[in-house]
Structure 1
């Protein structure tokens, strides 16, 4: 039998896009930009000039606090305006997260946010992944980590008063947290990705972190 002919796929990159105009439409807590551009086409040649609006909100980092000894995770609960507008549960169960400020590393952000949002100190962390929040109209990337913590220290209500934060801490078993992912109770991407990753890798984390005396 003759195999069907397939052409090797060409990989495009940053150099295959030509931006002809970039304009700031709005500058507030977030920034809205308008782009005019064209890009190379898979079939050859270039696209016509295209116009797109894009939300430029910076980059963020998130951390799933995990206690490998007790097999528990720490989740936080807080009000989210996007969830309200999207007809979802306005108070979202999430993992720790924060925006990366200029000069900061993602690791420094999640270490700080773990203290501010959940009252726990991260002893070690493992990189999980980085993803685009919504690449069709937003430039934000989110770097995700798992962090080794003592879940016995996680409790209470946290957050920065001057930022209007009102954050409640939940300590639940890994199995319970994953069941909430499976049932759809947990609705935000970073938490779903991190908990699915943990379900696949928790034994490796237990072997590594517990062995090292944490």
Structure 2
């Protein structure tokens, strides 16, 4: 990335380059009043991803997953996180990657996905954005076992949760994952005609 009228990159040092890349940047930032300020920021880049919430209109259920998340454990939160299926793009187009993730994680293959928006998940420290999708599924759309890739450490439980129950689980704290909350609320707004 190059300097702009509001930003000069003075120095960049890679602190870690294992799964993602953590870099410390020394920058000069032009404030709104026109003065320049020296700052140090650490930025984590792990690539971009996609997430999808599928809804079954016959059962009024959403398709969710539950899996162990080490960072949630270290945060003192419930380590078995209920989520909408998602995955890193790893060079693929968002819709293509999302279709593969749905089969891998849930075993369901759907004919149509709708891209709703892209969301910066933690713009204060992480470069990642997620492409958000919605779609419709039916129980007959199951084409594989699902459950994730054991070789990647995945051990995913597939859940069919009534939409009303899933929305209540946000308020109770059972669903605390940001991407899942956003997608559930988007679906609820659509169903309310908003």
TM-score, normalising length from structure 1? 0.82
Partner of 2:22: 32
Closer, same or farther in 2 for the Cα pair 1:132/1:15, shift >3 Å? farther
Structure 1: distance between partners of 2:151 and 2:5: 43
1:94, distance to aligned residue in structure 2 (A):
0.4
Secondary structure of residue in 1 paired with 2:58: coil
Q: Does 1:194 align with 2:183?
A: yes
How far did 1:74 drift? Answer: 0.6
Looking at structure 2, the residues matched to 93 and 157 of structure 1 have their Cα atoms a distance apart, in angstroms, of 16
Query: Structure 1, unaligned stretches of length 5 or more?
Result: 1-13, 205-214
Q: Deviations over 1:35-68 (max 9, x none)?
A: 1111221122322x21111111111110111113
SS of the equivalent of 1:113 reads: helix
In 1: Cα distance, 2:99 partner to 2:77 partner: 29
Number of positions where the alignment pairs a residue of Structure 1 with one of Structure 2 = 189
Select which of 124, 143, 160 maps to 1:171. Answer: 160
Runs of 4+ residues over 6 Å off in structure 1 = none
Correspondence for 1:128: 116
> Are residues 15 and 109 of structure 1, via their aligned partners in 2, closer, same or farther at CA, if it must alter by over 3 Å?
farther
Q: How many angstroms does 1:16 deviate by?
A: 2.0
Change in 2 beyond 3 A, CA 1:152/1:187: farther
User: Do the aligned residues in 2 keep the contact of 1:93 with 1:186 (CA within 8 Å)?
Assistant: yes
Scaled by the length of structure 2, the TM-score of the pair is 0.90
Alignment correspondent of 1:114? 102
Rg (Cα) greater in structure = 1
Deviates more, 1:18-27 or 1:186-195: 18-27
Q: Structure 2 stretches of 5 or more lacking a match?
A: none
CA distance in structure 1 between the partners assigned to 2:192 and 2:114 by the alignment = 14
| 1:86 corresponds to 2:75 | yes
Alpha-carbon contact 1:64-1:145 (below 8 Å) kept:
yes
The alignment yields a C-alpha RMSD, in angstroms, of 1.8
Helix, strand or coil at the partner of 2:36: coil
Which residue of structure 1 aligns with residue 7 of structure 2?
Answer: 17
Q: Match for 2:34 among 44, 55, 80? A: 44
Contact 1:96–1:114 under 8 Å retained in 2 = yes
